[in-house]
């Protein structure tokens, strides 16, 4: 009797040991017990659509059996603000004139979050310091390095043009509209402008406020070293233009 019990136990163990064969490996997903509790009735992201029986016919609910769909034509998501400028050379110029960063360019959190978004999305090509020497450029993997942010014409590139380029892409750079929300884009731009202003302040020995004005194209690049501080008229002008453009930029 004792011996038989022992044998039963032993063989159960051996059988259970072979549960190992039910485990995922390579292409095999492994076996599941109670699959009903594992697979959601509601559609999770990236799952296939299910077929349903309607009047005896099996019908696919989704085109190509793909549960992820594009928004219905003519609808927009909540909080969506359209972008008014077209993807043309004129649109680029117009955006450069009309768009102004709605965020506070001196705010610490804006700059910090801008830095995070910059390092994730931009630094790979443009470089951590913005010199156009990101890891894939340095390693030679990417054959078309972007210009440095400190090239003379880009140093004073209007923010609106930068926003336009991030939205539609420029030259070989692709559009980042799907990865960065409008607010995030402005944060990134604030961060880049801050880098440029720091460089201007250092190179031309002007105050950081002045350097910001120069980087935004509101003041010419200083020709010689001056010790002048912020010009009141320029700041006022800047404020007026911010108010003008809030309607166009909007917030997410």
Partner 1 sequence: MKILCNTKSRIAGLLLILLTFLALQTNSFAQTPREDPVYLKGETIFKANCTSCHKVHDKLVGPALAGVYDKYDSEWLYSWIKNSQAMVEAGDPDAVKIFNEYNGSVMTAFNIPNEEIDAVLQYIKVETEVPVVADGGPIGENAPQEGSQMAIFLAIIALILLAIMFILNRVTGTLNELVREKMGMLVPEKWTFGDLMKSKKVITLASLALIIFVGYKTVDNAQRLGRQQNYQPAQPIKFSHELHAGINEIECQYCHAGAAKGKSAMIPSANVCMNCHKAIKEGPKYGTEEIAKIYNAIGWDVENQAYIEGYEQKPIEWIRIHNLPDHVYFSHAQHVTAGQLECQTCHGEVQEMEEVYQYSSLGMGWCVNCHRNTEVDFKGNDYYQIYEKFHEQMKSGEMKKVTVEDIGGVECQKCHY
Contacting residues toward partner 1, per CB under 8 A: 10, 13-14, 16-17, 19-20, 22-34, 37-41, 45-46, 66, 88-89, 119-121, 123-124, 132, 135-136, 139, 141-148, 151, 153, 171-176, 178-179
> Which is nearer to partner 1, 132 or 222 (by Cβ)?
132
Question: Which residues sit opposite 58 in a β-bridge?
Answer: 53
Question: Are the beta carbons of 210 and 218 closer than 8 angstroms?
Answer: no
Distance CA 63, CA 79 (A): 28
* Closest approach of partner 1 to the CB of residue 200, in Å: 19
CB of 35 to partner 1, least distance (A): 9
Q: C-beta of 208: minimal distance to partner 1 in Å?
A: 24
Whichever of 74 and 140 has its CB closer to partner 1, that residue is: 140
Q: For residue 117, count other CB atoms closer than 10 A to its CB.
A: 21
- Considering the complex, state which of residue 101 and residue 165 has its C-beta at the smaller distance from partner 1: 165
Nearest distance, CB of residue 151 and partner 1, angstroms: 7
Q: How far is the CB of 108 from partner 1 (least distance, A)?
A: 11
Cα 122 from Cα 72, distance rounded (Å) = 31
Quick one: 39 or 202, whose CB is closer to partner 1? 39
Decide if 206 contacts 214 (C-beta within 8 A): yes
Say how far apart CA 205 and CA 227 lie, in whole Å.
Answer: 8
Q: How far is the CB of 252 from partner 1 (least distance, A)?
A: 12
For residues 217 and 220, give the distance between their C-alpha atoms in angstroms, rounded to a whole number. 7
Q: How far apart are CA 72 and CA 195, in angstroms?
A: 41
Cβ proximity to partner 1: between 43 and 204 the closer is 43
Of the candidates 252, 245, 228, 225, the one whose C-alpha atom is nearest the C-alpha of residue 158 is: 245
Closer residue to partner 1 in complex, CB, 88/235: 88
């Amino acid at each position: 009797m004792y011996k038989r019990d022992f044998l039963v136990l032993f063989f159960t163990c051996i059988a259970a040991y072979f549960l190992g064969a039910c485990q995922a490996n390579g292409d095999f997903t492994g076996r599941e017990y109670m699959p009903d509790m594992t697979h959601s009735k509601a559609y999770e992201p990236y799952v296939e659509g299910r077929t349903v029986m309607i009047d005896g016919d099996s019908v696919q609910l989704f085109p190509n059996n793909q549960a992820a769909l594009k928004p219905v034509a003519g609808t927009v998501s909540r909080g969506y603000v359209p972008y008014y400028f077209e993807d043309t050379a004129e649109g680029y110029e117009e955006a450069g004139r009309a768009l102004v960063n709605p965020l506070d360019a001196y705010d610490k959190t804006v700059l910090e979050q801008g830095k995070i978004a910059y390092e994730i999305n931009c630094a790979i090509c443009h470089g951590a310091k913005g010199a156009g020497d990101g890891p894939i450029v340095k390693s030679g993997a990417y054959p078309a390095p972007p210009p440095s942010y400190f090239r003379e014409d880009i140093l004073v590139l209007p923010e609106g043009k930068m926003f336009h380029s991030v939205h539609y892409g420029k030259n070989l750079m692709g559009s980042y509209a799907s990865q960065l929300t409008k607010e995030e884009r402005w944060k990134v731009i604030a961060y880049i402008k801050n880098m440029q202003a720091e460089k201007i302040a250092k190179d031309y020995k002007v105050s950081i406020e002045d350097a910001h004005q120069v980087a935004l194209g509101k003041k010419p690049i200083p020709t010689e070293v001056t010790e002048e501080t912020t010009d009141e008229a320029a700041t006022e002008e800047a404020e007026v233009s911010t108010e003008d453009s809030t309607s166009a930029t909007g917030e997410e």
